[in-house]
Amino acid sequence: MSHPEHTRVIVTSTHPDGESDFQVQVHASHTEHDEAGNPVFSVTQLWGTADGTGTVGPGQNSEQVSDPWFPGPGGTRFRFFTFMPNASGGGEGETTPQLQDAQIDAGSGFVDSFDPDRPGMHISDSVDYVHVLSGEVVMELERGEITVRAGDVIIMRGGWHNWRNETDQPCTVASVMLGTHRKS
């Protein structure tokens, strides 16, 4: 699966009388580039919820939330994310342009999650459920790394990590982030 330009999202709702209904939304993808103009990743913000514990039931239809990038405790974000292939063609020792070089809005909190002393390493106060839909990407952690491939599922629990696409093909994932509290 390549990253779709547009994704149809069917959002259900429950009217005050208790009857269920739906609406169709179309969400466009957005590609971020590094300072040299190379594509770094594509993202489609599919859905998100406000921080805290949500409610469901008659008339309880929360609006979509996609900013800031990372949800606060109890908030969620659901997105497609595509790691672009190595701009140099995936030769040994070469890596994808670093995520922190993307031109994403500084107010989103995304850039602040990176460690300036460890290129690409970043952290979030969230539990992330990541399903690799196509391609492969190296998930680098502080004590090791593993290549994840289409069909693999990652449960990321608030640790430092980096993603490197060392191939010549994009790697697309579906990701759900659940905001949490960090304990020191």
DSSP state of 99: G
Q: What is the mean pLDDT of the chain?
A: 84
- The helix/strand/coil state of 160 is coil
Q: Tell me the C-alpha distance between 54 and 68, whole Å.
A: 18
Min mean pLDDT across 64-68, 106-110, 146-150, 173-177 is at 106-110
Report if residue 32 sits inside a domain.
yes
Report if residue 141 sits inside a domain.
yes
Domain limits for position 137: 6-179
Kindly tell me if the per-residue pLDDT of 94 is higher than 50: no
Between 14 and 152, name the one with better pLDDT: 152
Please report, for the domain that includes residue 163, its CATH number: 2.60.120.10
Q: What is the pLDDT of residue 104?
A: 55
Q: Region 41-55: what's the mean pLDDT?
A: 89
Q: Tell me the C-alpha distance between 122 and 107, whole Å.
A: 16
Q: Are 31 and 37 in contact (CB under 8 A)?
A: no
Confidence bin at 106 (pLDDT 50/70/90): low
Q: Compute the C-alpha angle 90/149/167, nearest 5°.
A: 5
Q: What is the pLDDT of residue 88?
A: 39
Kindly tell me if the per-residue pLDDT of 83 is higher than 90: yes
Report if residue 184 sits inside a domain.
no
Report if residue 101 sits inside a domain.
yes
Report if residue 121 sits inside a domain.
yes
What is the tally of structural domains in the chain?
1
pTM over 0.95: no
Report if residue 1 sits inside a domain.
no
Report if residue 44 sits inside a domain.
yes
Q: Are 43 and 34 in contact (CB under 8 A)?
A: no
Q: Region 30-58: what's the mean pLDDT?
A: 88
Report if residue 123 sits inside a domain.
yes
User: Residue 123 burial by CB count (10 A; 0-12/13-18/19+): exposed, middle or buried?
Assistant: middle
Q: Region 103-128: what's the mean pLDDT?
A: 79
Radius of gyration of the chain (CA): 17
Q: What are phi and psi of 95, to 5 degrees?
A: -130, 160
Q: Tell me the C-alpha distance between 104 and 109, whole Å.
A: 9
Measured CA distances, 151 to 6, 9, 47, 83, 174 (Å): 22, 22, 22, 16, 11
